[in-house]
Structure formats: structure tokens, C-alpha cells
Amino acid sequence: MSELFDAVDALVASRSPLPPPAERKRLRAAHGLTIDEVATALKVRRATVSGWESGKTEPRPPERDAYARLLKQLAELYPAPADATVPPRADATVPVQDAAPVATSTGTPAPAEAPAPSAGPAPEAAAMTVSENTRTSPAPAAAPAPAPLPGARKAPPAAPAATGGPRFDNGPLAVIDVDTDGKALAYCTGGLVLDVPAKSLPALVDWTLEEAKLGQPKLSGPGKPADPLLVLTEPALKRYGLPAALGEEERIAGRIPEGHKVVKQLTRADWRLTKRGFGPWARIYRPAQGSERACVQLCIPAWNALDTRHWGDAGQLPPAELARVLGVYASRVMTPRGSTAVTGLELMTALHPPTRASEPDETGRRRSQHNPGSLGKDPVDCAPCEAPDGHPLLADLPRFHVRGPGEKLFEEAYDWARPLTDAECLRRNLVGLDVNMAFAAGANGLTVGLGAPTHVRNPAFDPKLPGSWLVDLSHVDLSRVKTGKEWVELDAALLPSPFTPKGDRPEGPAWYATPTVAYAQELGYEVRPLEAHVRYENGRYLDGWYNRLRDAYLATMADLGVDADLPPENFLAAMDGYRARDPELAIVVSAVKATVKGGLGKLRERPRGEGWRPGEPWRALSRPTWRPDIRAAVISRTRINFHRKIVKHAAFTGQYPVAILSDCVVYAADGESPLDVLPYREGRPLPGGFRLGVNPGLVKWEGTQSVLWGEGVREQFEAPELNLARYIKDGTVTAQDNGE
């Protein structure tokens, strides 16, 4: 009988109409699926699925049947939202008289006039079909959108606020504020404003879970939906009995005392706090009952929850505008789970949960099992060479022992500079180029270890096997290297070594991550490792993470008028003053970039106080995502990508870098523009070299200063190799920057 049912299902699927291409893409993204995952499941090429989603091709049987079934199931999970664009600016909210229908006392929607179109770089009509305790904020019309730049294409529609059906109708988060009449209001994404009846924090948590309809759908099949996020303004803190600012002791502790009256209120109501207590990012929960979660997260900007280094002045924005900033970030990245670093790490787990449900057994029961491609639910020890100083694996070392390159893996970003040559001193300017999302690009397509390392001696090097290798690379001579199939002659004295962060040539055996050793082979030199810690269980764990952050970055930059396919001159024009076009979306760009760097940094998080002593474990070691080897591999690949472009550039142009800092490189040039440095020919860049553009891995203009400025600064501080890349942006140098 089951075979007959399967045949009927297949027959129905073969004639089922397919949704339009844009909806196919939306459904896939809503479930957190990548194009590669869909292609693998349907046993087709990646380009085939991409063609189905772009409308260039249509699926044919037998793949069409399976594809139709997939889309049908996803459509049931993620109904098409009434609105599919980005939350408008606060000053672009649709006035009340133009709002969508509001429920009347009989429960039937009252008719309303058509909503006015919103304006701005990232237009989105507000979703305002709401319950009786809902209202919208009238506001003046938005400023007109900036005129398109020459050669620019129309920006793609931005990601919608994540709703995902009635359960999350009102978006992922709300900013709680109090108006002049003392009434609490919840400012949601899309211009929606809810009345908040709760007069205590426990009541606010209950209201959030029972009535507010806040939250975000899961990002992957085995994952969990995001908990609702409440952002409390200073008036809201006062209303709910919380301090407007943390005292000195509370700031150091990162939380208010456990004996605070609000904490006691939560305890009496059977709510719990996580181990980090009630701080700037507090999680209030009850133990899960089956699959049902009861958890609300609080963000308190007045307690420095939104670090100004990454969120700018977001914490000072009015409630509606703050809801817009955080809402765009949530829809494109994920609902914030803490700092941008914490969120970057949580995004990895959300895309690759450690467990998934098994197939049903003979009783129909499913069990939790390991999710392939994830890091699992249990932490694994790193190799001794990968352990930072103070790690329990190093407890037997003498107290003041300093590990050298032969004992410690030291893969870090570049911090290198050299004196200018006589010819460079005759040029007028120093031009800085900055690689967009460099570390994200380093993670793209990178194979990393998923399990514990295996120690081997005298191994044959395998560039496809992630791990740490003890090998002598001092014989690699940069004066003669291989690029592609050709050998080229270079001035090695003007180049940094690709094998050390300071650019020094190695002096003997040292530990390196796989991408570094593979690059030595690529340059044409033999490598013979003495030993290695390799990971036979591996995969491209960071691909989905990279794709989501890349898409978030590109979509937001497109909203700011910087398209991905602009010609070089138009790209430079578009980048000029792009932040001023929409300062709120510019905040999102900064937060996305900070999410990349912070998330990778969390993979090797060090002790954070807590009475820790060297040789003792610290809290981060208990996470499966404490993986210094993955961080090292990403940084290694990023530095190698950088060096490869520098070599290509030097071989083609004869120009060598003056300074490199992390993802910024400085060249001497006669002109002031990057186009005076980069070898474009008829609008085409050097293959394999630096290229202007907004995509991760391409470069933008960092800044230009005069050669006289550079030589003057070095003379002032008596530092002929002062790293000018650190100051090229605006030319400001202080004594404090140089340790004085």
C-alpha cells in the first residue's frame, strides 16, 4: 500500500505548479538551506539549482518532482509574508491613516486606504495588520532616496524582517520604551508599535512569550527558533525597577547583584537567569518542556550592551530607529545573542547545530543524534602546539617558559613595514588599500577539522588535510617563486615572508596551519614535515556562515548605493560618503564586519577574569566551539591570500608594498587614487591581483597621505619601520599609539 501512496505522491508532485523563482529562493533561505545542500539532496549541480532560482531554467522530471515536494513542504513551514522588504526608517513610517487594516471590536478588519509607498535607500512597506492593543507611529515622510550613481544597477530587495508565520508575526525583537503618559510601548520592526500592559519584569516576560508574537525561525533544519529579544530603553529601565546605569562594582562584575529586587521578582515567578546573571545581555528562561522553549533575552544599551566600537551610536537612537537597525541585522544575520563576537559564534552553531533528530524507530520515536558536518555537542582538546599560554595542556611547563616557533602555532594577521626605497621617496603619495571582509573571504571554502587531532610523525604533507604541521620553511626563497606555471624573479628584500606575521624569514622548523604549508608548495618549494597534528574528520564548516554574512554585507551595501558590479571609477564614487546616505544602515555594515572578526576571535577565547590561574581550565574550554585550530586556519588562509596578490602585483608592475596591517596594504604612488596603483587594462584588473569592488576579498580605498607625511612621522618617532598602514586612513598619529 505504501508503494501506491508513494506513486500517487509522485504523480501529484509531477503536475504541481512551482512557485516563482524569487519565492523558491526565499523558501530555501527561510529554512537555512544553502544552494549546495539542495543540489546535493536532489543530485544535481549547484549551477542547476541556481538557474531554477534565477528563472533562467526550469526543473525537469525526475528532479522536478522532488523539487516541487521540497518547495511545498517549505511553503507550509514558511508562508509568504504580507511584506517582503526591509524595515523602513523611523521617519518613513506609514502614517496611521494609511495603515493596513486594524482589527475592530468585532474582530473583523476595518477597511483602510492603500498604504503610501516608503522612500529611502532601503524601502520597505510597514507590516501593520495587528491586534487590538497595536498602533503605529505617525511620522514625517522620509527624505528622497539618493540619485543612482553612474553604472549602478538597482539594489536587490533587502531581506525581510523574519516573521515565519503567525508565531513570529511581529518580528524578531522589540524596543521597549515609555511615552510621556507613562504608557509602555514595544517598537517592533516594520514600524509596528504595540501597547505593553506589563508593569513588572516577570509580567513583561510573560507578555512577550504569550502575546507579543516575537521571535525568529530557525536558520537550519535541525536548529531551533531564535528567542525573542527585548531592548530596554532608559525610561523602560526605570519603569521595571532597574538601574539606569551600572555602578563601578556592577560594571566590573558585568551584572547587578543577585539580591537585587528585580532578580528576586523573577525568582519568585519561577524564572531563571543563565550563569552570566542579569547583565547587559540577560537571558531569562524556564527549563524546556519537551521541545517548547520559554526564554526571553534582554539587551540594555544603557549598560553598554551595544559596544560603540561595533554599533556606533545605535544605543542613542530613538526607539523606532533602534528597532530598525537591530531588525535589519536580525533579518540578515540573526537575532543578536550578545556582543557581535558572541553572535558571530552563535551563528556558526545555528547553521550547524550539534545534534539532529534520527529517523523514527519501529515505535515511531525519534532520538537525538550527531548532526554530520557540525562540531558535535562535546568539546575536544586541541593539540599542544595549538594551545594558548596558560592552557591546562601546558601545566607541566616551567612557570616562565616562553614557547618558540617550534613549540607554538602562531598564525596571526600581518603587522609588517619597511623603510621606503630611494625611488619610493621620490613619489608623492602613499595609497592604502583595504580588503573587504578579508577574514570572511579567508573562511570561504576552507576545509577545517571537525573532530580531535591525531598526532603523526614524519608525515607526507597533504594540502587537503587540515591540521598543524612542524616543518622547516626557511629554504623558501622569495627572489624566485612560481606563480601559476611560471617562475618569476622578485626583490625579496622588499617583500614580507608569507610564513610569519611580522614578515621575517623563518630560521628553522616551526608550526604552521595547512594553508601556510600548502602555499610554500605553491611557490615551487618542497616541504617535509617532521610531525603533525591532523584532523581526519573535516569539512567546510564555515561555508554557510560565510555565505550568510557575505549576503548580509552585500545587501546592506547595495541599500547604501554600493552595488557589487560597479566599474572601478563608479565604485570609488559610490564608496565616497556612503555612510552618510543612511547612517542607520551604515551601523549595520559595521556590526556585520565586527561579527566576522569577533566570531573568529571567540574560537580562541582567553580567560575573562573569574579568578583564573595559569594551568587551570577556563569557561570557554567547555564549548565545542572553542577551536583555536579553526581560527588559525582562517587567519593563515587570509594572510596567504594577501601575499599571493602582493606577489602577482609585484611580478606584473614592479611595485612592492611599504606596509601591511591585517587587511590593509600601503603602496607608494604618484597619484592619490587606488587607480594610480592598481594595473587596470581597459577596465579589467590583473588576474589574481588586487581588484576594486565591494565583494569580500576585493579591495576599497583606505586613504592617501603624502610621502612627506610618512617620512615625517617616522622621523618624529625615530622609527624607520613604523607601520604607516595603521594611520593611512586619516593621518592621525599619537604618541600613545607608539607606546610612548
Is 187 part of any domain?
yes
What is the domain-level CATH number for residue 28? 1.10.260
Structure confidence by residue, pLDDT tens digits, 666-708: 999 999 999 999 998 877 898 889 999 999 999 999 999 999 9
Does one domain contain both 30 and 136?
Answer: no
Is 195 part of any domain?
yes
The SS3 of residue 164 is coil
Is 577 part of any domain?
no
Does one domain contain both 57 and 179?
Answer: no
Is 399 part of any domain?
yes
Is-contact 414 439, C-beta < 8 A?
no
Please choose, from the candidates 144, 136, 208, 207, the residue with its C-alpha nearest in 3D space to the C-alpha of residue 173.
208
Does one domain contain both 213 and 278?
Answer: yes
- pLDDT, residue 129, reads 31
Please choose, from the candidates 693, 385, 722, the residue with its C-alpha nearest in 3D space to the C-alpha of residue 564.
693
- Residue bearing the bigger pLDDT, 178 or 127: 178
- pLDDT, residue 1, reads 55
Cα(409)–Cα(304) distance, integer angstroms:
35
pLDDT confidence bin for 13, thresholds 50/70/90: low
Percent pLDDT > 90 in the chain is 68
Cα(665)–Cα(658) distance, integer angstroms:
8
Does one domain contain both 51 and 152?
Answer: no
Does one domain contain both 300 and 405?
Answer: no
pLDDT confidence bin for 9, thresholds 50/70/90: low
Is the pLDDT score of 147 beyond 50?
no
The pLDDT of 462-485, averaged and rounded, is 96
- Cell numbers standing for residue 87: 524595515
The pLDDT of 656-674, averaged and rounded, is 97
Does one domain contain both 134 and 17?
Answer: no
The pLDDT of 530-546, averaged and rounded, is 97
pLDDT confidence bin for 385, thresholds 50/70/90: very high
Is 544 part of any domain?
no
- pLDDT, residue 130, reads 36
- pLDDT, residue 737, reads 52
Which range of residues forms the domain containing residue 57? 2-77
The pLDDT of 517-543, averaged and rounded, is 97
The count of C-alpha atoms lying within 13 angstroms of the C-alpha of 181, restricted to the half-sphere facing its C-beta, is: 4
Cα(474)–Cα(493) distance, integer angstroms:
15
Phi, psi of 187 (to 5 degrees): -90, 115
Mean of pLDDT over the chain: 86
Structure confidence by residue, pLDDT tens digits, 437-467: 999 999 999 999 999 999 999 999 999 999 9
Cα(191)–Cα(118) distance, integer angstroms:
11
- pLDDT, residue 64, reads 86
Calculate the alpha carbon distances from 722 to 429, 495, 655, 658 in Å: 17, 16, 20, 10
**Which residues, in sequence order, are CB contacts of 718 under 8 Å at separation 6+?**
none
Does one domain contain both 210 and 306?
Answer: yes
Is-contact 71 38, C-beta < 8 A?
no
Calculate the alpha carbon distances from 89 to 140, 162, 651 in Å: 11, 17, 48
The pLDDT of 710-717, averaged and rounded, is 92
Is 275 part of any domain?
yes
Is the pLDDT score of 353 beyond 90?
yes
The pLDDT of 468-476, averaged and rounded, is 97
Does one domain contain both 9 and 138?
Answer: no
CB atoms within 10 A of CB 58: 11
- pLDDT, residue 82, reads 55
Is the pLDDT score of 134 beyond 70?
no
Give the end of a domain, one of 508, 539, 570: 539
Omega within 30 of 0 (cis) for the link into 384: no
Phi, psi of 679 (to 5 degrees): -85, 70
Structure confidence by residue, pLDDT tens digits, 626-636: 999 999 999 99
Is the pLDDT score of 17 beyond 90?
no
Phi, psi of 703 (to 5 degrees): 160, 165
Does one domain contain both 49 and 148?
Answer: no
pLDDT confidence bin for 381, thresholds 50/70/90: very high
Does one domain contain both 502 and 453?
Answer: yes
Is 515 part of any domain?
yes
Is the pLDDT score of 135 beyond 80?
no
Structure confidence by residue, pLDDT tens digits, 224-269: 999 999 999 999 999 999 999 999 999 988 999 999 999 999 999 9
Entry pTM: 0.79
Is 253 part of any domain?
yes
Number of domains in the chain: 3
Please choose, from the candidates 612, 646, 570, 647, the residue with its C-alpha nearest in 3D space to the C-alpha of residue 150.
570
- pLDDT, residue 66, reads 87
- Residue bearing the bigger pLDDT, 733 or 552: 552
The pLDDT of 72-89, averaged and rounded, is 67
- Cell numbers standing for residue 159: 531581506
Does one domain contain both 159 and 307?
Answer: yes
Alpha-helical regions (H) of 316-429:
319-332, 340-351, 422-425
Does one domain contain both 324 and 409?
Answer: no
The pLDDT of 507-517, averaged and rounded, is 97
Is the pLDDT score of 563 beyond 90?
yes
Dihedral-angle region of residue 524 (phi above 0 means left; psi in -120 to 50 means alpha; beta otherwise)? left
Taking the alpha carbons at both ends of the chain, their separation in whole angstroms is 83
- pLDDT, residue 102, reads 33
Please choose, from the candidates 563, 348, 513, the residue with its C-alpha nearest in 3D space to the C-alpha of residue 440.
348
The pLDDT of 552-579, averaged and rounded, is 95
| 271-274, Cβ contacts within 8 angstroms, sequence gap of 24 or more | 271/202, 271/205
Is the pLDDT score of 545 beyond 60?
yes
Is the pLDDT score of 151 beyond 50?
no
Cα(586)–Cα(692) distance, integer angstroms:
20
- pLDDT, residue 8, reads 59
**Which residues, in sequence order, are CB contacts of 297 under 8 Å at separation 6+?**
227, 228, 229, 230, 281, 282, 283, 284, 335, 337
Is the pLDDT score of 105 beyond 90?
no
